Amino acid sequence: MTQAWLDTWLDAVARAGLDTPVVLVDVDRVDANIARMAATMRERGVALRPHAKTHKSLEVARRQLAAGAVGLTVATIGEAEVFAAGGIDDLFIAFPVIAGAAKAERLRALAARCRLSVGLDSVEGVEALAAAFRGEAPARVLIEIDSGGARSGVLPEAAGALARRAVDRGLDVRGVFTHAGQGYADPARRSAAADEEVAGLAMAAESLRREGIEPAVVSAGSTPTAVLSARAPVTEERPGTYVLGDRQQTVLAGEPSGFDESVALVVAATVVSHGTRGGFLVDAGAKVLTKDVAPYLAGHGVVLGYPDAVLTRVNDHHGTAEVPAGTARPAIGEVVCIVPNHVCPVVNLVDELVVVSGGRVVDRWPVDARGRNA
């Protein structure tokens, strides 16, 4: 299977005469990933609001919406602006927004343009948002809880008090949300993380109800846990990475090779040197692969077709691979395809994705929201 898919990518690079490094996306795999997740959520009766920080692409977003997504999740106001300008009319900023300085004005403009919700996890956030909107426009908010990820969010039992404060300040509290980052900790952790997500959200929803606030939205979200936590009281899932796939997700899902049919994106690179130590070097370094390495992964990506090679080091523009003694290494000049460890920051490094299908380049999708961190 690996070899057949690898060949279609290599054929596309050769036929189109692409210079490397280049980020390739297989549109058929993207569509299959979109359809599979949409079908699962439809079966469960759970709304799907994919996180667009993975792809940052209007073209991918439109495919997700066409397959039944209720809207998009984004991480920043800048991402929301790009997708709103592209005609996406239902956006949730899943981040503890502090509506200070210019951000207040930008949020008001967004809320006037689309159906906007934002995350809050502090009294300061509530006050800033209330001041920004001054009761003039609908300011929909979801209270973020920490369901074990140890990142942002309040404790589940504290959600009600914060929601009450928000309602009292004129904000429209729609419900609660969480991200179970602990589901990324290791392959054995996914199922428990999903349970923690569900339990935390259930407790938070109860906490709102005790304040007389009925949560319309109870939102969970991460690719490792999305399918596992898509059950009551969860009403919405926000996975992102599933649409492109990567080594990390594949390993977390139980495929230790880091590559299966869910992986829709690879970095094509050229072997530029054999160095002096028996390995090889590629022209893909940290400026395209990033330095994202989960503790359970060895090296900076999977070199397809060379399963024993380990990308032990990436500098800005060099990737250095080691191979065990006696193992074949690619020739200098050969093009190889690398599955990145974590796809989201890789996409954010390029201006466009080169879209392939059946061994040919069929399109180029701009990374519309690349670099929109603020």
Shortest distance, position 106 Cβ to a second copy, whole Å: 8
Residue 181 binding a second copy, by CB under 8 A: yes
Helix (H) or strand (E) holding 364: strand 360-366
Residues with Cβ within 8 Å of residue 263, at least 6 apart in sequence: 29, 244, 245, 246, 247, 250, 339
Of residues 113, 115, 140, 151, which one binds a second copy by CB under 8 A? Answer: 151
Of residues 46, 118, 281, 353, which one binds a second copy by CB under 8 A? Answer: 281
Residues with Cβ within 8 Å of residue 47, at least 6 apart in sequence: 41, 70, 235, 236, 237
Is 220 strand, coil or helix? strand
Shortest distance, position 280 Cβ to a second copy, whole Å: 10
Residue 199 binding a second copy, by CB under 8 A: no
Closest CA to 47 of 257, 236, 321, 270: 236
Residue 322, φ and ψ in degrees, nearest 5: -105, 145
User: DSSP assignment, residue 265?
Assistant: E
3-state helix, strand, coil in the chain (%, to 5): 35, 20, 40
Closest CA to 301 of 315, 325, 326, 284: 284
Shortest distance, position 58 Cβ to a second copy, whole Å: 18
Shortest distance, position 256 Cβ to a second copy, whole Å: 22
Of residues 86, 274, 305, 359, which one binds a second copy by CB under 8 A? Answer: 274
Locate 356 and state its tokens: 């392939």
Helix (H) or strand (E) holding 344: helix 343-347
Q: Which stretch binds a second copy (CB under 8 A): 131-139, 144-152, 247-255, 357-365?
A: 144-152
Looking at beta carbons only, is 86 or 345 nearer to a second copy?
345
Residue 17 binding a second copy, by CB under 8 A: yes
Residue 246 binding a second copy, by CB under 8 A: no
Looking at beta carbons only, is 265 or 288 nearer to a second copy?
288
Is 201 strand, coil or helix? helix
Of residues 10, 12, 22, 198, which one binds a second copy by CB under 8 A? Answer: 22
Shortest distance, position 44 Cβ to a second copy, whole Å: 26
Is 303 strand, coil or helix? strand
Residue 53 binding a second copy, by CB under 8 A: yes
Of residues 153, 160, 183, 224, which one binds a second copy by CB under 8 A? Answer: 153
Residue 348 binding a second copy, by CB under 8 A: yes
Closest CA to 55 of 245, 302, 183: 245
The upper half-sphere exposure of residue 155, i.e. CA atoms within 13 Å in the direction of its Cβ, equals 2
Residues in contact with a second copy, counted by CB under 8 A, come to a total of: 68
Place of tokens 């009294």: 123
Given the rule CB under 8 A, which residues bind a second copy? Answer: 17-22, 53, 75-77, 95-98, 100-103, 106, 121-122, 124-125, 128, 146, 150-155, 181, 270-277, 281, 283-284, 286-288, 290-293, 313, 315-318, 320, 331-333, 344-345, 348-351, 371, 373-374
